[in-house]
């Protein structure tokens, strides 16, 4: 009986994958094993040499691209690397690289962003063993992005960002503690400089009771916070702007505190910050954690 040619070729490919002749290209050192079980080395090798893994990468990348384009809009590029088809079906992925330009999330512009996963990903597609769909393990993403002046103005005008910004508190003699708000901010970006033209009002008060104010300074990243240093203040309603500038620097800083934006399922830390003409460039890490119900189910399974 004649052996099917496909089977013969498959056996040859597997043997070649494990063979190490003198002229063979040295194998790349294997990365650290993922924090979850994956298919055997033999199974992954067979899938790789037969092109199944490559096909899995393409399918996963196109599917992710379609979902993200619908979610974010703009131009989206996605590159996915899988361990193999069987692990992909189980929701286990080696790495993901995503770039987006012109997209937005919940009406907040994202600018030009690139994200690369620093850890493998395990995502449960369907409800299983009482667990809801979602991440099974925490993932770490390296993020880099550019924001234009228009992006920042739009973001500052969104209700989502406004709610995440901390209020400014003053303890005024005879009036008690007052909550201040920065209203209608206009932003200008220069080389290592930031200029904000806004209205400072007491929370809940009419805008015509506010004080027009122009604040400029040098944005500096200190730890996980952005401070505006060497601050200058200009306002027709402020008699001694130099003295008020020192007070405002203490009052308004930090202008961004990323730790205040932490949630149970995600946290972001900025590691790099560069201010150029009309563009803010930044880079950091985004940690995304499984929901608490998934994490509890995992720990319960592990203890058995």
Give pLDDT tens digits for 56-72.
898 888 888 888 888 88
Decide if 279 is inside a domain: no
CA angle 203, 208, 154 (to 5 degrees): 65
Indicate if 73 and 160 belong to the same structural domain: no
Split at pLDDT 50, 70, 90, the class of 252 is confident
Residue recorded with tokens 């910004």: 165
Angle of helix 5-18 relative to helix 41-49, nearest 10 degrees? 120
Split at pLDDT 50, 70, 90, the class of 158 is low
Mean pLDDT of 245-252: 81
pTM metric for this prediction? 0.72
Structure tokens at 190: 């220069």
| Whole-number Å distance between alpha carbons of 273 and 229 | 14
| Whole-number Å distance between alpha carbons of 160 and 178 | 23
- In this prediction, residue 165 carries a pLDDT of 52
Q: What is the 3-state secondary structure (H, E, C) of 94-129?
A: EEEEEEEEEEEECCEEEEEEEEEECCCEEEECCCEC
Domain count, the chain: 2
Decide if 246 is inside a domain: yes
pLDDT of 17 over the 80 cut: no
Average pLDDT of the chain, as a whole number: 78
Nearest to 252 by CA among 168, 176, 163: 168
Output the CA torsion sign for 275, 278, 284, 290: positive
| Whole-number Å distance between alpha carbons of 42 and 24 | 19
DSSP designation for 259? G
Evaluate whether 155 touches 246 at the Cβ level (below 8 Å): no
3 state SS of 36: coil
Decide if 135 is inside a domain: no
pLDDT digits (tens, 9 = 90+) for 260-295: 888 888 899 999 998 888 888 999 999 999 876 544
Decide if 117 is inside a domain: no
- In this prediction, residue 285 carries a pLDDT of 94
- In this prediction, residue 46 carries a pLDDT of 87
Beta bridge partners of 98: 78, 115
Decide if 71 is inside a domain: yes
| Whole-number Å distance between alpha carbons of 128 and 136 | 12
Decide if 130 is inside a domain: no
Indicate if 100 and 201 belong to the same structural domain: no
- In this prediction, residue 29 carries a pLDDT of 53
- Mark which of 53, 73, 108 sits at the end of a domain: 108
First to last CA, the chain: 51
pLDDT digits (tens, 9 = 90+) for 78-91: 999 999 999 999 99
Split at pLDDT 50, 70, 90, the class of 105 is confident
- In this prediction, residue 293 carries a pLDDT of 55
Nearest to 120 by CA among 25, 205, 31, 253: 31
| Whole-number Å distance between alpha carbons of 32 and 95 | 13
| Whole-number Å distance between alpha carbons of 123 and 134 | 6
Q: What distances in angstroms separate CA 250 from CA 79, 186, 198, 227, 244, one per listed residue?
A: 45, 21, 18, 10, 10
Indicate if 159 and 86 belong to the same structural domain: no
Split at pLDDT 50, 70, 90, the class of 241 is confident
Domain that holds residue 9: 1-18+34-108
pLDDT of 97 over the 70 cut: yes
Evaluate whether 215 touches 248 at the Cβ level (below 8 Å): yes
Helical H runs in the chain? 5-18, 41-49, 52-72, 85-89, 149-156, 159-164, 241-252, 292-303
Indicate if 170 and 241 belong to the same structural domain: yes
pLDDT digits (tens, 9 = 90+) for 221-235: 998 888 989 999 888
Split at pLDDT 50, 70, 90, the class of 237 is confident
Indicate if 98 and 1 belong to the same structural domain: yes
- Mark which of 108, 123, 141 sits at the end of a domain: 108
Decide if 302 is inside a domain: no
Decide if 81 is inside a domain: yes
Indicate if 83 and 178 belong to the same structural domain: no
pLDDT digits (tens, 9 = 90+) for 108-147: 778 899 999 999 999 988 887 777 888 899 999 999 999 8
């Amino acid at each position: 009986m004649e052996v099917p040619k496909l089977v013969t070729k498959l056996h040859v490919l597997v043997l070649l994958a494990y063979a190490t002749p003198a002229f063979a290209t040295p194998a790349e050192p294997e990365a650290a094993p993922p924090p979850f079980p994956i298919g055997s080395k033999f199974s992954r090798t067979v899938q790789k040499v037969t092109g199944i893994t490559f096909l899995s990468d393409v399918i996963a990348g196109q599917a992710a691209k379609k979902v993200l384009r619908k979610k974010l809009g703009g131009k989206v590029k996605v590159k996915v690397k899988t361990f193999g088809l069987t692990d992909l079906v189980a929701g286990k992925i080696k790495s993901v690289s995503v770039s987006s330009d012109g997209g937005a999330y919940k009406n907040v512009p994202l600018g030009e962003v690139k994200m690369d996963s620093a850890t493998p990903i395990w995502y449960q597609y369907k409800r299983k063993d009482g667990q809801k769909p979602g991440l099974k393990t925490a993932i770490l993403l390296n993020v880099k992005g550019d924001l234009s002046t228009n992006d920042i103005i739009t973001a500052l005008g969104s209700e989502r960002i406004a709610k995440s910004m901390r209020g400014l508190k003053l303890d005024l003699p005879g009036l008690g503690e007052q909550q201040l708000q920065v209203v209608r901010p206009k932003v200008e970006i220069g080389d290592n400089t930031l200029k904000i033209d806004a209205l400072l009002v007491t929370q809940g008060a009419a805008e015509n009771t506010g004080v027009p104010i122009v604040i400029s300074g040098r944005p500096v990243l200190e730890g996980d916070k952005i401070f505006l240093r060497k601050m200058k203040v200009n306002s027709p309603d402020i008699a001694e702007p130099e003295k008020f500038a020192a007070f405002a620097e203490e009052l308004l800083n930090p202008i961004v505190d990323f730790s205040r934006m932490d949630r149970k399922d995600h946290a972001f830390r900025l590691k790099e910050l560069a201010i150029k003409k009309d563009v803010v460039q930044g880079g950091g890490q985004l940690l995304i954690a499984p929901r608490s119900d998934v994490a509890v189910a995992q720990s319960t399974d592990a203890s058995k």
